[in-house]
Structure 1
Amino acid sequence: MKVTILGAGVVGVTSAYYLAKAGHEVTVIDRQAGPALETSFANAGEVSFGYCSPWAAPGIPQKALKWIFMEHAPLILRPKVDGAMISWMLKMLSNCTSSRYAINKSRMLRLADYSRVALAEVRSETGIAYDERMQGTLQLFRTEAQLDASAKDVKALAADGIPYEVLDPEACIRVEPALRHVREKIVGGLLTPKDETGDCFKFTNALAAKAEALGVVFDYGRTIKSIVVEGGEAKGVVTDRGVTRSDAVVVALGSFSPLMVKPLGISLPVYPVKGYSLTIPITDATRAPESTVMDETYKIAITRLGDRIRVGGMAEISGYTNDLGLARRRTLEHSVTDLFPGGDVSKADFWSGLRPMTPDGTPVIGATKVRGLYMNTGHGTLGWTMSCGSAKVLSDIVTGKTPEIETKDLAIARYN
């Protein structure tokens, strides 16, 4: 079968790799000059199989009101006259209940844990390196209220059989020795030891080379205009260089996916939520994290990537804008220097990317009402984490195989 994949981020490239392994003739089309040059380029570096939660959670509406007045707020809202933004926010608010949170988190953990196994398989069969570490994620609590609130996550982790450890301050320092310099700021932590770290950009480029060796064609620098539908079936795509014909089309365009499928009468509730990152060279390894420390106060991840620290986070709802606000940089700098003092943030590279968020936190994977048209998008902050599992599931669905995990509640039909 000829399959065209739209998008060469980590989700598109992993999809291409699995589909090629399944024996399909795959072409990947992207507007950039190479793989992983947009949202996959400089993300937080976490591969968070255990630290995996929906943004829509009980108490978030109340917290959001407080965050409006915080200097270093984890959530920034720039309201505008935008029907898609308003609709998405209302849907997200409807998911901020205990019952919905439990359902959504369970879905996410199922897919993330499946992706953990899939990523290990890819690493084993390809031998690619991407500054990877397998030392877990430490969710760090600065207040007793944060520690108490983690009970709902502990419950979900236990229910799904995901390993975890609740740590006191001294145990946090044993996991991340550099935190000894700020012992007085730590109340406790939640460790998910199966989590990993790694450079998503390096991984995606290395896997793209392996996919090419399997016969995948990467067609870069092309503007995708529309999807060709004939007789109710996807038959290819129109680009600025003509028509590419195929038997199936996979939409893996991240935040831009809903714009591509809207003309086909498909309402995809994915909206861009901008995140920011700093990449800082390590000058003193004794003051750097060993793996990922998630600063719960600011919702910022501080991750070791080889000889660099990647500081990533925040959620800015401002539409399809990719400007670099200096206030956001100050928040990233504040979090990393407050927990790991001594680094030279003046040498940091500053970046932003648009995360494709669904209102329930779960990605959209699978078939659509248009025959031959498939989705693999909406992973929010967890595209890197869920990429291999999502791609393996998608490949099985396209091929006509029964996936190894439940996928019905991952499809777009769940929104009907």
Structure 2
Amino acid sequence: MKVVVLGSGIVGVSTAWFLARDGHEVTVIDRACGPARETSFANGGQISVSQSEPWAQPDVPWKVLKWLFREDAPLLYRPMFDPAQWAFCLRFLNECRPSRAEANMRQILALGRFSRATFDLIRAETGLAFDHRERGIVSIFLSQQELDAAAHAAAVMAEFGVDKKVVSRDEMVAIEPALAGYSANVVGATYCESDQSGDVHRFTCGLAGLAEAAGVEFRFSTRVNALLAEGGDIAGVSVTGPDGAFATVTADAYVLALGSHSPLVARTAGLSLPIYPAKGYSATLPVIDAGAAPTASLTDESYKIVMSRLGERLRIAGTAELAGYSSTLNPVRCRLLVERARTIFPGACDWDAAQFWTGLRPATPGNVPLIGRTRYPRLWLNTGHGTLGWTEGPGSGRALAELIAGRDPGIAFHFQGC
């Protein structure tokens, strides 16, 4: 079967990889000049099943109100005259109900565990190098209330076999000695030994190279204009090539994996996807003192910032900004990342050499991605992974390939389209 995958981030490339392994003729189309050039370019680096708690929690609406006029807020909401933004926010509020938050976390956990196993499978088969570490994730808490909530979430995760546990400050320092100088500020921490970290851009580019060698065709610098709906199905995809010429690409099946731009393309076929861009930031700095820099990945839960060691670099990433499709760097939020990391690991990096980046995460109201067939028989979705694209991407690609082949992926996840 001929399959066209729209998007070459971690989700799209993983999907193409598993489709090609199933014997399909696969073409990947992306407007960028190469794989993983947008949201999969410089994220926080965490492969983090233990971070499966959705942003939509019962206490979050009050926090958002408190943060409303703070440029450095972990979640910054900029009200706009944008119906999509308001619709997303209303759905987000609905997902903040306790019953919905826990149900969403269970789905995210199931997909995350499946994806981590898939990731390990790819790594074992390919031997890809991408600054990979298996030192787990330490999450630090500055208030007892936050730590108590994390303990409850860890208990739910234990039902799914996720080894996240509450640890004392002394245990935290034993796990990550670089936190010793900051430990007095911490109430407690959680630790998940089975979580990992690595450079998503390097991994995705490496996997794309292997996929191309296996017969996958990549068409870069090619803009996706529209899905061409005809007779109750998708008859093709309108694209503009590198030379500016319009063309129609046809296939037996189409996979929409364009991240935050998925709803814009879906709209051309009359589909409404509950996805809105949540802009995230990152800073990458050279490590100048290896002993002062962390080797485990770190999550600062109070500031919603993550830090991962990528070889001789430290990647700091986080915050979310609901401000449409703007990719403008906010200097206040950039400084927050560097200043927070310097507070915790003061001698670790050259703090004046930060390289800043921003990307649009494709957020759904409950953080559960859209994976499955749409009302158009030939059109499939693999999008909406929010902050967990690196964690969920390999498994999502494998699961969708199974669905396209008519097989059950075998995980407790509600596969759905639109």
1:352 is matched with which residue? 358
Q: Identity of aligned pairs, percent?
A: 43
Matches within 5 A, 1:115-134: 115-134=115-134
Moved more, 146-155 or 161-170: 146-155
Matched with 2:323 is 318
TM-aligned CA deviation for residue 231 of structure 1: 2.1
Q: Specify the code of the residue in structure 1 equivalent to 2:256.
A: V
Tell me how far apart the structure 1 counterparts of residues 222 and 152 of structure 2 sit (CA, whole Å). Answer: 45
Measure the CA separation in 2 of the matches of 1:236 and 1:177. Answer: 55
In 2: Cα distance, 1:62 partner to 1:334 partner: 26
Aligned to 2:139: 139
Q: Which amino acid aligns with 1:195?
A: D
User: 1:249 is matched with which residue: 226, 237, 254?
Assistant: 254
CA contact (8 A) 2:298 2:306 kept: yes
Instruction: Work out the CA distance in 1 between the residues paired with 2:328 and 2:351.
Output: 20
1:395 aligns with 2:405: no
Q: Check if 1:299 corresponds to 2:330.
A: no
Q: Structure 1 residues 256, 204: closer, same or farther in 2, change over 3 A? A: same
Which residue is 1:181 aligned to?
A: 181
Structure 1 residues without counterparts, runs of 5 or longer: none
Matches for 1:162-311 after TM superposition, within 5 Å: 162-240=162-240, 241-311=246-316
Query: Which residue identity is paired with 2:117?
Result: V
The Cα shift of 1:230 comes to 3.0
Shifted more, 228-237 versus 386-395: the winner is: 228-237
Partner Cα distance (1:183, 1:406) in 2: 38
CA drift at 1:197: 0.2
Q: Deviations over 1:296-332 (max 9, x none)?
A: 1100001111110000000000000000110011110
In structure 2, C-alpha distance between the alignment counterparts of 1:70 and 1:232, rounded to whole Å: 47
SS in 2 for 1:150: helix
- AA paired with 2:403? I
Distance 1:347 1:141 in 2: 28
Verify the 8 A CA contact 2:71 2:333 in the aligned structure 1: no
Q: Could you tell me how far 1:410 is from its partner in structure 2? A: 3.1
8 Å Cα contact 1:95/1:359 also seen in 2: yes
CA contact (8 A) 2:228 2:269 kept: no
Contact 1:139–1:190, Cα closer than 8 Å, also in 2: yes
Asked whether the equivalents of residues 284 and 356 of structure 2 are also in contact (C-alpha less than 8 Å), the reply is yes
Partner of 1:90 in structure 2? 90
2:17 aligned with 1:11: no
Equivalent residue letter for 1:381: T
Deviation at 1:71, TM superposition (A): 6.0
Which deviates further from its counterpart, 334-343 or 244-253? 334-343
In 1, the alpha carbon distance for the partners of 2:256 and 2:225 equals 13
After superposition, give the CA deviation of every residue in 1:101-160 in whole Å (9 maximum; x if it has no partner).
110000000000000100000001111111001111111111212111213311221222
TM-score normalized by structure 1?
Answer: 0.97
C-alpha contact 2:380 2:417 (8 A) present in aligned 1 = no
Distance in 2 separating the partners of 1:404 and 1:108: 15
Shift of 1:175: 1.0
The 8 Å contact of residues 362 and 410 in structure 1, kept in 2 or not, is answered as no
CA contact (8 A) 2:375 2:417 kept: no
The question of 1:329 aligning with 2:334 is answered: yes
CA offset digits 1:256-279 (Å, max 9, x no partner): 001111122211000000000000
Structure 2 portions without partners, runs of 5+ = 241-245
Q: CA RMSD in A?
A: 1.1
CA 1:333 to 1:172, structure 2 compared with 1: closer, same or farther past 3 Å? same
Q: Is the 8 A contact 2:67 2:73 kept in 1?
A: yes
- 2:352 is paired with a residue whose SS is helix
The aligned residue for residue 64 of structure 1 is: 64
1: CA distance, partners of 2:165 / 2:386: 25
Residue type at the aligned position of 1:340: F
- Do the aligned partners of 2:131 and 2:311 also contact (CA within 8 Å) in 1? yes
Task: Report the Cα offset of residue 69 of structure 1.
Answer: 5.2
* Structure 2 residue identity aligned to 1:109: L
How far is the alpha carbon of 1:70 from its aligned partner? 4.7
1:376 matches 2:402: no
Taking the aligned partners of 2:344 and 2:142, their CA distance within structure 1 comes to: 11
2:364–2:384 contact (8 Å) kept in structure 1: yes
Bigger shift: residues 21-30 or 222-231 = 222-231
1:46-61 equivalences under 5 Å are 46-61=46-61
Q: Secondary structure at the match of 1:410?
A: coil
